[in-house]
Amino acid sequence: MHIDHLRYGSDDDGTPGRIRVHQSIQANDLFDSFAIERPWLLNQRHVSCVPAGVYTLDDHTYKQGTKQELETWALVNRELGVYHYPSPRASRDLILLHPANRSDQLQGCIAPVAHITKKDGKLFGPSSGPTLSRFLNVINLNQAEHTYEIRWAGAQR
C-alpha cells in the first residue's frame, strides 16, 4: 500500500499537506485527507516536521492520558536518521501519526485532519480523531508493507 503525503509550503504557523492512500502508485484513492505538521525547521527534534523521503510504517501502541491504549503507526527511514524508538544513531524518533487539531500540539508528528484553516495564528484542522480513525481503518485492512512518501509541492526543501 502506498501513502502519498504532499506538503504545500511551510511557515512559522506549520506545514499543511494532503494524505492520499492507494493500493498501488497509479490506483484510485482509498483515503484522502489533509494533514498538519510543525514548520520545517531543518529537522530539529520535537519542533520540526521530518524530512521528505520514503518511510516504512511500524505498528505503534501508545496511551493518551488516562485513556485506553491506542494503535497507530510510526514512520521509519534509517537513511534519514528517523527510527521508531530512540537510538544512538537516530536524529529523530517516535514520529507518529496521531490526532491533533493544531500544529503546536505536535512534536514533529503528523496529524490527519478533515480540512485546514488557521486559528489563533496556528494551523488548525478539525475532526483529527475521526480522520485518523478512517486512515487507520484503511491501512489496517491491508497487511502488506506500507510505504509513506513525503514530498514537497514545488521547490524541494
Average pLDDT over residues 77-83: 96
The C-alpha atoms of residue 34 and residue 89 are separated, in whole angstroms, by: 31
Residue 17 clears pLDDT 90, i.e. is over it: yes
Residue 137 CA to chain centroid, in angstroms? 16
Q: How far apart are CA 35 and CA 116, in angstroms?
A: 8
The domains of the chain are located at: 2-57+97-152
Q: What is the pLDDT of residues 25-51, one digit of tens each?
A: 666 788 999 999 999 999 999 999 999
C-alpha cell at 135: 486512515
**pTM, two decimal places:** 0.92
Cβ-contact 122, 104 below 8 angstroms: yes
pLDDT per residue as tens digits for the range 88-119: 999 999 999 999 999 999 999 999 999 999 88
Mean per-residue pLDDT, 2-21 = 94
pLDDT confidence bin for 146, thresholds 50/70/90: confident
Average confidence (pLDDT) over 132-157: 84
Residue 51: alpha-carbon gap to chain centroid: 11
